[in-house]
Amino acid sequence: MQLDNQTALITGAGRGIGQGIALALAQAGANIVAADVDLAIAEETSEKVKALGRKSAAIEVDVTQADSIEAMVNEAESRVGPLDIAVNNAGVISIMGVDKLDAEKWDSLMAVNARGVFLCTQAEINVMRPRRFGRVINVSSICGKVGLPDLSHYCASKFAVVGFSNAVAKEVADEGITVNALCPGIVGTGMWRGEHGLAHAWREEGESEEDSWARHQATFLPQGVAQTPEDMGGLAVYLASAEHVTGQAIAVDGGFSL
Ligand code: NAD
């Protein structure tokens, strides 16, 4: 197996894209630390990993808190093994025009999506550096490549992830550590589906959520269909294996960014 005996830590691993990436890395041979602010769902992912025959632990973390991240990395290494791969995937979204956006909303979203990625990357690199090996994958978005209305704060946080990953990649390039950003396009997780999702929020007059979901796929995606958590897992496995790919922001977006 490509990633046999390696340890991978994934934040926001309890559902959606994080779970898809955790399972893909496990299928490629890695042992998995599933971290999430919601421990119960992290445990569900962990059980799915164990069913694939890999070692796994579930850990509660709040990526906005440096001490919680420090504890997560220590616990990950003591329960599963020295960290080889880290996927900083935890993220949140909210939908609001810039005229309505306030500093509190801006700060709370940035705290998870941008500061969380910074703090996690820093703690992970601290343990990877002495061993001169590491693969850091920071989950950005198509919104880290193009702006979308009503998502200015979210886009700012995802552009930040791309810039941060690019800069850190240069800092650690000669230490055996790669740092890349993974940019999903449209994936039917809680971010798009359900009453808090974008498909619901962006319905036209009289349109059902299902029809809005179909319309957005047709409008935004040259390929016409949404991507899946498994698609993101495929790129994560590649980036975890690739020795000479670093500082990149790679989209898995069905052509959204073209
Ligand atoms: P999701 O809401 O299904 O999953 C997000 C996970 O992050 C949840 O398990 C949640 O509990 C966890 N989380 C939230 N705040 C946290 C915190 N403070 N500490 C630790 N964990 C926390 O969403 P998803 O669609 O799977 O999104 C995963 C990542 O992909 C996010 O960074 C998101 O911005 C990005 N993304 C998603 C899409 C999409 O279409 N779904 C597109 C582009 C980028």
- What is residue 5's predicted lDDT score, i.e. its pLDDT? 92
Tally of structural domains, the chain: 2
* Residues 82, 135 within the same domain: yes
Query: Is the residue at 258 inside a domain?
Result: no
User: Which residues, including other chains, have CB under 8 Å from residue 188's CB and lie 6 or more apart?
Assistant: 213, 226, 228
Minimum CA distance residue for ligand 1 atom 10? 12
Digit-coded pLDDT (tens) for 90-102: 999 999 999 999 9
pLDDT in tens, 66-79: 999 999 999 999 99
Percentage of residues of the chain with pLDDT beyond 70: 100
- Residue 59 and residue 110 in one domain: yes
Give residue-wise pLDDT tens across range 174-218.
Answer: 999 999 999 999 999 999 999 999 999 999 999 999 999 999 999
**Structure confidence by residue, pLDDT tens digits, 99-148:** 999 999 999 999 999 999 999 999 999 999 999 999 999 999 999 999 99
Residue 1 has pLDDT above 70, yes or no: no
Per-residue model confidence as pLDDT tens digits over 230-240: 999 999 999 99
**Residue 183: exposed, middle, or buried by beta-carbon count in 10 A (0-12, 13-18, 19+)?**
buried
Shared domain check, 163 and 210: no
- Give the range of the structural domain holding residue 152, as residue numbers without chain letter: 7-186+228-252
**pLDDT value for 17:** 98
**120 and 177 part of one domain:** yes
How far out from the chain centre does Cα 90 lie? 5
Does residue 135 sit in the same domain as residue 166? yes
Give the residue, out of 36, 65, 69, 227, with the most ligand 1 atoms within 8 A of its beta carbon, to mutate for a pocket test: 36
113 and 211 inside one domain? no
**Catalytic residue, candidates 118, 154, 202, 220:** 154
198 forms beta bridges with: none
In a domain, 69, yes or no: yes
Cα of 89 to ligand 1 centre, how many Å? 6
Statement: residue 172 has pLDDT above 80: yes
Based on the domain organization, do 175 and 192 belong to the same domain?
Answer: no
Residue 154 catalytic?
yes
Q: Residue 29 in contact with residue 50, Cβ under 8 Å?
A: no
Residue 94 shares a structural domain with residue 203? no
75 and 24 in a single domain? The answer is yes
Q: How far does residue 88's CA lie from ligand 1's centre (Å)?
A: 10
Is position 2 within any domain? no
Residue 243 has pLDDT above 90, yes or no: yes
- What does pTM read for this prediction? 0.98
